[in-house]
Structure formats: structure tokens, C-alpha cells
Amino acid sequence: MSKLKYGTNYAKLEEYYMQNLLDIVASFSKSYIIWQEVIDNGAKVKPDTVVEVWKGGYQAELAKVTKLGHRALLASCWYLNYIAYGSVWKNYYMCDPYNFNGTESQKALVMGGEACMWAEYVDATNVISRLWPSASAVAERLWSPAKYNSTSEAAPRLDGQRCRMVSRGIQAEPLNGPGFCPHEANVIN
């Protein structure tokens, strides 16, 4: 870092590293997806770059990235490893990737989103139950028109999806508190 005169500015070091990496990828005439900090740190990217917005404050970041003319994917509001009490899926469902200050042409650059998961509190014993059916809430949000945004209307659909998963052997966690699936009631009879 001292040779490059960056002092203790690790953002400059990251920019240097990423710029070299991006130049190598570009030399093969390939496109790439980058995390938002590459743009934030000032690296020069190709016009067809896709930027994944994964940190908090996504509305401002989406506005910035799309104003620069880059396509974007949103992930920051869909980290499924978030631990909280109650029905967390509602937070995922209410996140709208087009809810930022931007023109229609900027919003057209938003390609969609992705559900993500860090592994600090997730391992092989709970990854499936943590993913499902919360990822279903993200999928419905991304695949549905913006006007379909009621969690109370989505709850029965997502409960039904959970029951289909459970009936197929997928250990999906309950979304809306204790309950049971129709196929479980048939076992009791």
C-alpha cells in the first residue's frame, strides 16, 4: 500500500485490485457482475456492467447505479439469514426493487433481485428450513406486478406453498406461527 501511496486507505487498495481484475475480464470480451462497492470506490467499469446492490440504503444506491447507466440487481433487503422474532417474510415481501428516486429509464435498468444468505448462523442443520418458504416470498415479490403487495393476501398462498414443500419432504419452516398442513391432518385421522 505504501508503494502505491495509499497510506491506510483500504478502499483505494480494493479499487486498485478490482480495477485490475475488471481489466483482465474485459480483455476477454466478457461481461461481469460486481458488488456495489466497486462503483462506490470509483473503479472504471464497462458500460454493460451489472451492479449488485447488497448493502443497506438500497434506494440511494439503486438511484446512483442506474443514473450511471448500469443495470442493477437488488439483494440488500433479501438476506434470508436475518434473525428476528415473528414473521420475517413480510419484510422480504414488502421490499420493492423499483422503490427509489429515479426516472422510468433508470427503473428499466433494474433487472430484478436475488435472495441471499450469509452463513454466520446457518449450516447444514438449518439451511433448508431457513431458505424455505422465505425465498418463496422473495420470488413472488419479484415475479409479480408491483400492485400485488399485500402480505395478508400473500400469507395463504405462501402457507400453501410451504405445505406443498413439506408434503414433498422439504423441511420448510412455518411462516405465520404454529399451524398445520392438510396432509398432516390426514395422518391424524
- DSSP conformation letters of 104-155: HHHHTTEEEE--B--SSS--TTTHHHHHTTHHHHHHHHHHS-TT---HHHHH
C-alpha cell of 99?
422503490
Cis ω on the peptide bond leading into residue 47 (within 30° of 0)? no
Sequence-separated (6 or more) residues with CB below 8 Å from residue 138: 78, 80, 92, 93, 113, 115
DSSP-assigned beta bridge partners for residue 50: 33, 71
* pLDDT score, position 177: 80
Phi/psi-derived region of residue 5, left when phi > 0, alpha when psi is between -120 and 50, beta in every other case: left
**Hunting for cell 433448508 — which residue is that?**
128
Q: Tens digit of pLDDT per residue, the chain (189 long)? A: 778 788 888 888 888 888 888 889 889 988 889 999 999 988 888 899 999 999 989 999 999 999 999 999 999 999 998 878 888 899 999 999 999 999 999 999 999 999 999 888 889 998 998 899 899 999 999 999 888 899 999 999 999 999 999 999 999 999 888 878 888 776 554
Answer yes or no: are the C-beta atoms of 78 and 115 closer than 8 Å.
yes
* Residue corresponding to grid cell 440488500: 76
pLDDT in the model for residue 99 = 94
Which of the 8 DSSP states describes residue 101? S
> Of 11, 99, 17, 12, nearest to 61 (Cα)?
99
Q: Vertex 75, ends 74 and 76: CA angle to 5°?
A: 105
Cβ–Cβ < 8 Å for 15, 37: no
Residue of 89, 70, 69 lying closest to 79 (CA atoms): 89
pLDDT value, residue 188: 53
| pLDDT, position 64 | 97
Q: What is the DSSP-derived secondary structure letter of residue 172?
A: P
CA distances in angstroms from 189 to 163, 174, 184, listed in the order given: 18, 22, 9
